[in-house]
Structure 1
Amino acid sequence: MMPDDPLSQLRDIHLPQTGGFWPPAPGWWILAFALLIAIAVLAWLVRRHYRRNRWLRLARAELASLERTASKESQWFTQLNTLLKRSARERYPEEHPEALSGEQWAACLLRHLPDDQVSHQFIVKALVNSPWQQEPTAEPDQALAFARTWLEAQKC
């Protein structure tokens, strides 16, 4: 090789270095932003659902407590009616169910059942009238079954 050969002084071809992972391309920024918004909306919806149904969880817990102390006494039926009225007030505040009694309260309970209301009519009337009777006509197990059915029908 000749020392004054200009071609011998040339270096080999070098490829450009690949770009690093940072900063990401604009598409990745948009995707990350959309993902953060989706996570925030999902968290908000879950929290909203959880808070909306808080009354239902509390009512189920109180119903379980009433189930353990079930008896055919008018005071027990008063407690069950109170639980149902509080639940109805939470779910249907515009109807003011806490002010209803007798036939109106029974009609309110039946109105908010999605299934066949006729099959529940007898137990609802007995449940509504039992707090005012010396010897209640309703059976506690039937009243509890109805209350459980009614509460489950009220989910948001």
Structure 2
Amino acid sequence: MNDQDPLAQLKDIHLPETGGWWPPAPGWWLVAALCLLALIALIWFWQRHRKRTLWKRQAQAELATLSQRAGNEPNWYSDLNQLLKRVARQTHADRHPESMTGAQWVDFLLKTLPKDRVASRPTAEALVAAAWQPKPTLEPRSALAFASLWLEAQL
């Protein structure tokens, strides 16, 4: 090798080391922060939705419990009416359904059903009156059918 030849003293071209995966580029930090914020917002909205619809789930669960222990006794009809009034208070608070009784409560129940649903006034009247009768004339199955129809329209 000739010490006088400058080309002989050159070394091969070496490429620089590639960057590792850590630390990520600033853009990836931004994407991670946005994903984290989106996840926090999603959880927050989901919890708010669950809290706002808790009464609906409770009403459905209570109706299921009432259907399991259906009986032709005034207390059962009273519990069913109380469930309907609690739901009515949630869905129609401006009309103050909790203070309605008798014919006024029957009219409210029938008016708040959708127009395409068929509900008989005698069934609604018997449901409301059954809570005060020693021997209710309405079958629990009919009362549950009416209550289910009404609750489905409200929920």
| Superposition TM-score tier, normalisation by shorter sequence | 0.7 to 0.9
TM-superposed deviation, 1:88: 1.9
- 1:73–1:136 Cα contact (<8 Å) kept: yes
Identify the residue that residue 113 of structure 2 maps to in structure 1: 113
Q: Secondary structure at the match of 2:138?
A: coil
Code of the aligned partner of 1:9: Q
Identify the residue that residue 24 of structure 2 maps to in structure 1: 24
TM-superposed deviation, 1:117: 4.4
- 1:106–1:128 Cα contact (<8 Å) kept: yes
Give 5+ residue unaligned stretches, structure 1.
none
Identify the residue that residue 56 of structure 2 maps to in structure 1: 56
1:124-145 C-alpha deviation (Å, 9 max, x unpaired): 2221122233432322101112
Pair 1:32–1:81, CA change in 2 (3 A): same
TM-superposed deviation, 1:5: 2.1
- 1:67–1:144 Cα contact (<8 Å) kept: yes
- Counterpart-to-counterpart distance in 2, 1:49 and 1:154: 17
What is the aligned-residue identity percentage? 52
1:99-140 C-alpha deviation (Å, 9 max, x unpaired): 111222123223333353443433222211222334323221
* 1:68-83 aligned within 5 A: 68-83=68-83
- Counterpart-to-counterpart distance in 2, 1:130 and 1:2: 117
Q: What is the total number of aligned residue pairs between the two structures?
A: 155
TM-superposed deviation, 1:84: 1.2
Code of the aligned partner of 1:19: G
Q: Compare 127-136 and 72-81 and name the one that shifted more.
A: 127-136
Q: Compare 47-56 and 127-136 and name the one that shifted more.
A: 127-136
Pair 1:29–1:108, CA change in 2 (3 A): farther
Give 5+ residue unaligned stretches, structure 2.
none
Code of the aligned partner of 2:96: H
- Counterpart-to-counterpart distance in 2, 1:41 and 1:112: 35
Identify the residue that residue 130 of structure 1 maps to in structure 2: 130
- 1:110–1:117 Cα contact (<8 Å) kept: no
Is residue 148 from structure 1 mapped to residue 139 from structure 2 by the alignment? Answer: no
